[in-house]
Amino acid sequence: MDNFQKKQMMAGMSELTDTVCLWYSDVPKRLPAIVLLLSQQGFPNATRVVLNWLGNYFEHCRNYQTGKFPNKQQLLFLIDSFIFFKTDQVQVQLTLTRELHLLEEICKHFQRQASSSSKFLTFEALFGGRTIPSDNVEEHRQKILHKTVSMALSLQCQEVLECAAVWLHTQNLSPCAMGLVDSILMDFCDLLPNTSHALERLPEVCPQFLNQLLPCVFSYLCVQGYKDEEFEPWTSIFLKISANWLSKNPNVCLLHATNPFPQNATFHKVSKEKSVRRGSSWSPSPLYVMHPLWNLKSSRENHKEETLVVSKLFYYLIQAITATPQIERDGDKVYVIPRQDILNVVTEMKRKLKTIVSSATAVEMSLDRLAEAVQIGNAAKQLEISSGEIEDFCEGLPPSHLLDIVLHSRHE
Amino acid sequence: MAAPMIVGTSILPFTNSKHEEEIQQHSNDAKSIIEKAKSCQKNDPYAAKALLLTAKTLYPSEFCVQFEAYLVEKSGQIASESSHSLIHLFSKFCDEERLREELFLVTSSLQSEEDGDQKFYRELFGKIPEQSQRQILLFCADSTNANCNFLLMKKFPDFIQEYGKALLDSLLELDKAAGSITPCNKFRQLLVTEVLPIILVNNQLEFMPKKLSKFLNLTIEFYITIAIQSKNPKTTADSILKSPTSVAKSGGGTPDVGAPLGTDFEGRGISDISNPWERLHKLLVIVAKRSGWKLECLTPVTMGFQDSFTSLSNILHSSHSDDVTTLKSVFYSNVILFFRSMYTYFNLVNPGVFGGHMTSAGVTQSYDFLIEDLETKKRSRRHKHKKKRIEDGKEVVVDGDGVEDQSYLSPRILTDDGKELTDDIMKAFTTAVNSWQLIASRETFKKDFTWLLHRWRSEQWPWLRLFQIDMHIYRGEHSQALHLIQEEKTRISELPQTPIKLKIQLNVQQASCHFTCGQHAKRVFPFADAGDTALGHMITLMQYDWPKEETVFAEILKRLTKAGSFSYPVFFTYIINLDFLEEFAYLVTPDAGNIRLDLFPPCITIQRQQRTITRGITRGGKEDFRVNIEKQVTRCEEDINKLIYKFLVTERDSLLQCLNAHNASM
């Protein structure tokens, strides 16, 4: 390419940038020229250009009505073509080197971007939307997401992790979210357990991501079911890391409750139908630690180490609840233990106790934790449930002296 | 699920009993949770903590529950968690006695450097927010806790102006109460080592000169005692430092506040108070500044003894008699110099005088020494090199150049093996003597010093008397020395455990004084209860300056005649005096009463069993005796000094045995 051609291309690129960012109505017509110019750029320049366009695009979208994204289809086309390398519904397989290069470009892009809202929207535009990997293309996209997050964890790339936290929140425990959790656990606790130290620094690097990740992981662990006698080896590793997280910063488990993400418009529409968790609106419940299935399993005699770690997690959770100040949002009291969370735990406990034969110690421990959560939540005025309701809900549970005391105390 | 225990509608007459049942139930429930937490603390500590947290929120007004929870947390040794609980307890239950005790433990640990519980308490306090720290210290200070008062000011100096004087008064009161037992009580230590250095440098507080002098006097007394006790690690009942009364008190359940410090108020051991003389000097400087005294008179600890004394002496002589600021400075500097040099002197020659070491010989290395009487030399030097002049009606000794002789001649201090001791000892000793002399040279100094010694109850400082004995001997004031020796011997005879080595030292000093006074043999062994060996040794020694002790010898002969026998196997080794030989030759004659004499060494005695000189004496035995007496006559020209020297060296053990026997009989 001679100098003249180069100059022409640069001029064309500049014009295109303006075109894309301002979203003139003739963009669909000019798309072939844009694609041609980007194709001439090749990897990684084309990818970098598209990522920059995305940033600029979402910056300019602030001038539009909230939730309005002009030329959305063209944008998705450019994303698929120059970031995920899909052509005519066919996924081009990247070499490992090129894939690594791509991940680096993505991470660098988020590190460069200043605006939080356009950062979140860019991330969501790249990885959001689909809940179930329906085809190879989607699978590839998810794979890039998992690897990007793993790389961000390794490099302690806060910007990417913040976006991933918002993404996890919008996913509402979807199979995609579970897929990301599975990938993280595999990478850091199973395949390369020696790299788990990268996770250990997470509370300092990005507490928001940790806050979203923890309930997802515990839900994931529960989804694995009660059927296995033993825990997977990586479970212990993750539990220990989690316990250390909470011991250093117990408030991290209440972060979303006390300081939720702002309600931003999403680029994709999020489907909630396939969530692994029941309930319509999802937020990370701090009570995930005391999921009955989890408690019963960890209370087994042969899981002594896990029992201790879960005790530790639970203790730091209730300690965090105790220390949480009263919060009001939009004039309404905010409870870190919503009514539904307690009801879910009690309901699940009743169901599991009927179907699973458990030792008296395991049952006692589960009921003690329920009593403790109720008492601590109530004393800290962070429990959104009436005294009558809680007692009604507890009808049918096995006898528990501590729960009796707690419920009795509530009546005084 | 068991039905919750809901209080039903009660019938009025039974309300009280129902209420009591509820309280009982309440208490049982609380106990059961705490017990459950305790039971699982070992196997699942976090489950225990969760239970405790629950119990604390269930029974927020129950001190027992809250405090038990704190204790369980404390046993887990996690300072941050325990600190939260302690703050909570403090905010709600500060009137509870158990909490007060706990807070006292926490605040007391702050000045300690010990590990273990103390370290944990320090960490715990460190985790408490500063505002709460202030409140806790203020609370403990209000509870008449002087230590907390001090900590409060140390940590938050803005409190000094408000609480400084009150703290000083409070400490003075407490010290007064505890000081009847020892000046080394924890209140005095806090006052002297921590509080005064902080408060006196705060110029916003004003003090009367008298009060400042009082602080200084207390400080000097404290550091003297500390310096001495550092040489006496086992400040126990056998310590000769203690008066019989203090021994009796400490053995009889003395209150803690006044007990001699094994460990001090801050948890430090006495030996941890390093450099007492430097600390004392620092406080002297502070007081001098506050009092407006001349600072150039305050000779630093690093300056040599003799230089310090010369400096003080020069300042004193160049100052006017009404220059109070200089005189005060010189007085206190000199008093400290006196005690410091005396301490160094004893520390070098015999640290045992400060403690119980002299009760058994050889526990510490010390020298048995004699300070040579320099009176004769002094006189002779005075004739040769010095002359007297009269100044202000006083006789002053000056050297040939007209320079006043401030010091006495350097003594020759000899150890028991005849070696001369170091220059340092002599410097320390002569400085102490000169300082004493300087005090005695001015009436005001003398009066003030006497008053200080009285305040400090110096009669309980035996080492001061021992120094005075040495000083008097050194200055040739033997009669004064003998008087003090006798007093000291009387004192030690009343101690529950006899300091044998000190007794020997006193006896030797007494002997040397008597010797110099011309009464040596008389007092070495008490005549009345001496055995044959002791009498024999006395006779041997009398040869040294015969016929000085003629009357004593006559008494001995009378006693032998009365006893009818005398055994002294080394007679022919040491007795060469013609008069003595004649008298003993006479004793075996019928005119003298045929006294039975056993004067040969044991081996010869066995060989000549048949010829033992006895009442039924054989001819051969008499002959041997005669021959040996004649032989001894030929030795009468021998050098008596060498003979006595040989006698003292060879018969050392026997002499000591006689002395010990004498001491034991005292």
Vertex A347 angle, CA A343 and A352, to 5°: 150
The angle that helices A136-155 and A158-171 make with each other, rounded to 10 degrees, is 130
DSSP output for B135-175: HHHHHHHHTT-HHHHHHHHHH-GGGHHHHHHHHHHHHHHHH
Whether residue B449 lies inside any domain: the answer is yes
**Residue pair A288/A341 in contact by the 8 Å Cβ criterion:** no
Q: Write out chain B residues lying below 8 Å of A375, CB-based.
A: 54, 57-58
Q: Which of A376, A401, A403 sits opposite B57 (nearest CB)?
A: A376
**Residue pair A275/A282 in contact by the 8 Å Cβ criterion:** yes
Q: Write out chain B residues lying below 8 Å of A391, CB-based.
A: 4
Chain B residue with CA closest to A409: the answer is B58
Cβ separation of B50 and A315 shorter than 8 Å?
Answer: yes
Whether residue B113 lies inside any domain: the answer is no
Q: Which residues fall within 8 angstroms of residue B83, CB to CB, at 6 or more apart?
A: B124, B125, B127, B128
- Which residue from B224, B166, B174, B164 is spatially nearest to B197, judged by alpha carbons? B164
Q: Which of B45, B47, B54 sits opposite A376 (nearest CB)?
A: B54
**Residue pair B449/B437 in contact by the 8 Å Cβ criterion:** no
**Residue pair B587/B560 in contact by the 8 Å Cβ criterion:** yes
Cβ separation of B50 and A391 shorter than 8 Å?
Answer: no
Q: What does the radius of gyration of chain B's CA atoms come to, in whole angstroms?
A: 37
Cβ separation of A307 and B44 shorter than 8 Å?
Answer: yes
pLDDT for the residue numbered B603: 61
pTM: 0.51
For chain B, positions 523-562, list CB contacts with chain A under 8 A. Answer: none
Q: Please give the DSSP secondary-structure letter assigned to residue A186.
A: I
Reduced to 3 states (helix: H, G, I; strand: E, B; else coil), residue B567 is: strand
> Are B308 and B423 part of one and the same domain?
yes
CA B650 to chain centre: 36
Q: Which residues fall within 8 angstroms of residue A124, CB to CB, at 6 or more apart?
A: A163, A166, A167, A170, A266, A267, A268
Chain B residue with CA closest to A407: the answer is B4
**Residue pair B129/B83 in contact by the 8 Å Cβ criterion:** no
| A336: closest CA of chain B, how far (Å) | 17
In whole angstroms, give the CA distance from residue A127 to residue A120. 11
Distances (CA, A) of B293 to B212, B300, B340: 11, 15, 21
Cβ separation of A315 and B2 shorter than 8 Å?
Answer: no
Assigned token pair, B505: 């030292």
Q: Write out chain B residues lying below 8 Å of A319, CB-based.
A: 53
Could you give the ipTM of this predicted complex? 0.79
**Residue pair B643/B576 in contact by the 8 Å Cβ criterion:** yes
| A39: closest CA of chain B, how far (Å) | 60
Q: Please give the DSSP secondary-structure letter assigned to residue B413.
A: E
pLDDT for the residue numbered B219: 92
In whole angstroms, give the CA distance from residue B296 to residue B311. 9
Residue in B6, B26, B53, B87 to test binding to A, most A beta-carbons within 10 Å: B53
Q: Which of A307, A308, A322 sits opposite B53 (nearest CB)?
A: A322
Q: Write out chain A residues lying below 8 Å of B6, CB-based.
A: 408, 411
Q: Which of A315, A395, A402 sits opposite B33 (nearest CB)?
A: A402
Cβ separation of B53 and A319 shorter than 8 Å?
Answer: yes
Cβ separation of B54 and A369 shorter than 8 Å?
Answer: no
Q: Which of A318, A397, A405 sits opposite B53 (nearest CB)?
A: A318
In whole angstroms, give the CA distance from residue A313 to residue A238. 12
- Low-confidence stretches of chain B (pLDDT < 50) are 1-14, 233-271, 356-368, 373-410, 520-521, 606, 609-617, 666
pLDDT for the residue numbered B254: 32
For chain B, positions 43-102, list CB contacts with chain A under 8 A. Answer: 44-47, 49-51, 53-54, 57-58, 60
DSSP helix, strand, coil percent of chain A (3-state; round to 5): 70, 5, 25
Cβ separation of B33 and A311 shorter than 8 Å?
Answer: no
Chain B residue with CA closest to A410: the answer is B58
Which tens digits make up the pLDDT trace of A137-196? 678 888 999 999 999 999 999 999 999 998 888 887 788 888 898 898 888 877 777 777
Please give the residue range of the domain that contains residue B280: 222-232+274-355+410-455
Assign 3-class secondary structure to B196-262.
Answer: HHHHCCCCCCCCCHHHHHHHHHHHHHHHHHHHHHCCCCCCCCCCCCCCHHHHHHHHCCCCHHHCCCC
Q: What are phi and psi of A408, to 5 degrees?
A: -60, -45
* Length reported for chain B: 666
Q: Write out chain B residues lying below 8 Å of A307, CB-based.
A: 44
Total number of domains in chain B: 2
In whole angstroms, give the CA distance from residue B244 to residue B239. 10
| B139: closest CA of chain A, how far (Å) | 26
Other beta carbons within 10 angstroms of residue A283's beta carbon come to 17
- Which residue from B470, B464, B278 is spatially nearest to B368, judged by alpha carbons? B470
Structural element, H or E, at residue A382:
none
Structural element, H or E, at residue B128:
none
Whether residue B634 lies inside any domain: the answer is yes
For CA atoms B138, B139, B143, B147, the dihedral sign is negative
Cβ separation of B4 and A398 shorter than 8 Å?
Answer: no
> Are B321 and B422 part of one and the same domain?
yes
Q: Which of B4, B5, B57 sits opposite A375 (nearest CB)?
A: B57
Whether residue B620 lies inside any domain: the answer is yes
Q: Write out chain B residues lying below 8 Å of A399, CB-based.
A: 1-2
Q: Which residues fall within 8 angstroms of residue B2, CB to CB, at 6 or more apart?
A: A399, A400, A401, A404
Other beta carbons within 10 angstroms of residue A43's beta carbon come to 15
Contacts across the A-B interface (CB distance below 8 Å):
78
Whether residue B150 lies inside any domain: the answer is no
Reduced to 3 states (helix: H, G, I; strand: E, B; else coil), residue A334 is: strand
In whole angstroms, give the CA distance from residue A255 to residue B176. 60
Reduced to 3 states (helix: H, G, I; strand: E, B; else coil), residue A337 is: strand
Q: Which of A318, A375, A411 sits opposite B4 (nearest CB)?
A: A411
User: Is B35's Cβ below 8 Å from some Cβ in A?
Assistant: no
| A223: closest CA of chain B, how far (Å) | 25
Q: Write out chain A residues lying below 8 Å of B36, CB-based.
A: 402
| B73: closest CA of chain A, how far (Å) | 13
Bridge partners of A91? A86
Cβ separation of B46 and A311 shorter than 8 Å?
Answer: yes
Cβ separation of B2 and A394 shorter than 8 Å?
Answer: no
Whether residue B376 lies inside any domain: the answer is no
Q: Please give the DSSP secondary-structure letter assigned to residue B266.
A: T
In whole angstroms, give the CA distance from residue B332 to residue B284. 8
In whole angstroms, give the CA distance from residue B365 to residue B346. 12
Q: What are phi and psi of B546, to 5 degrees?
A: -55, 135
Assigned token pair, A185: 């656990």
> Buried (b) or exposed (e) across B250-268, using 16+ Cβ within 10 A?
beeebeeebbbbeebbbeb
Q: Which of A315, A375, A412 sits opposite B46 (nearest CB)?
A: A315
Vertex A254 angle, CA A252 and A260, to 5°: 105
The identity of residue A388, as a single letter, is G
- Low-confidence stretches of chain A (pLDDT < 70) are 1-25, 88-91, 130-137, 222-231, 257, 262-265, 269-286, 288-303, 356-358, 387, 410-412
> Are B280 and B422 part of one and the same domain?
yes
Q: Write out chain B residues lying below 8 Å of A308, CB-based.
A: 44, 46
User: Is A371's Cβ below 8 Å from some Cβ in B?
Assistant: yes
Q: Which of A369, A398, A404 sits opposite B4 (nearest CB)?
A: A404
Q: Which of B418, B436, B455 is the last residue of a domain?
A: B455
Whether residue B399 lies inside any domain: the answer is no
| B247: closest CA of chain A, how far (Å) | 55
**Residue pair A80/A137 in contact by the 8 Å Cβ criterion:** yes
Chain B residue with CA closest to A403: the answer is B4
Q: Write out chain B residues lying below 8 Å of A389, CB-based.
A: none
The identity of residue B470, as a single letter, is D
Cβ separation of B1 and A375 shorter than 8 Å?
Answer: no
pLDDT for the residue numbered B216: 92
**Residue pair B370/B464 in contact by the 8 Å Cβ criterion:** no
Other beta carbons within 10 angstroms of residue B185's beta carbon come to 27
Q: Write out chain A residues lying below 8 Å of B5, CB-based.
A: 404, 408
Bridge partners of B387? B398
pLDDT for the residue numbered B44: 87
CA A268 to chain centre: 16
All structural domains of chain A with their residue ranges? 1-93
Cβ separation of A398 and B7 shorter than 8 Å?
Answer: no
Q: Which residue has the tokens 């017990």?
A: B35
Q: Which of A375, A380, A399 sits opposite B58 (nearest CB)?
A: A375
Q: Which of B4, B49, B57 sits opposite A391 (nearest CB)?
A: B4
**Residue pair B411/B430 in contact by the 8 Å Cβ criterion:** yes
Q: Which of B2, B29, B33 sits opposite A399 (nearest CB)?
A: B2
> Are B449 and B541 part of one and the same domain?
no
The identity of residue B229, as a single letter, is Q
For chain A, positions 305-364, list CB contacts with chain B under 8 A. Answer: 307-308, 311-312, 314-315, 318-319, 322
Cβ separation of A315 and B49 shorter than 8 Å?
Answer: yes
List helix spans (H) across B292-416.
305-318, 324-349, 375-385
Q: Which of A368, A397, A408 sits opposite B6 (nearest CB)?
A: A408
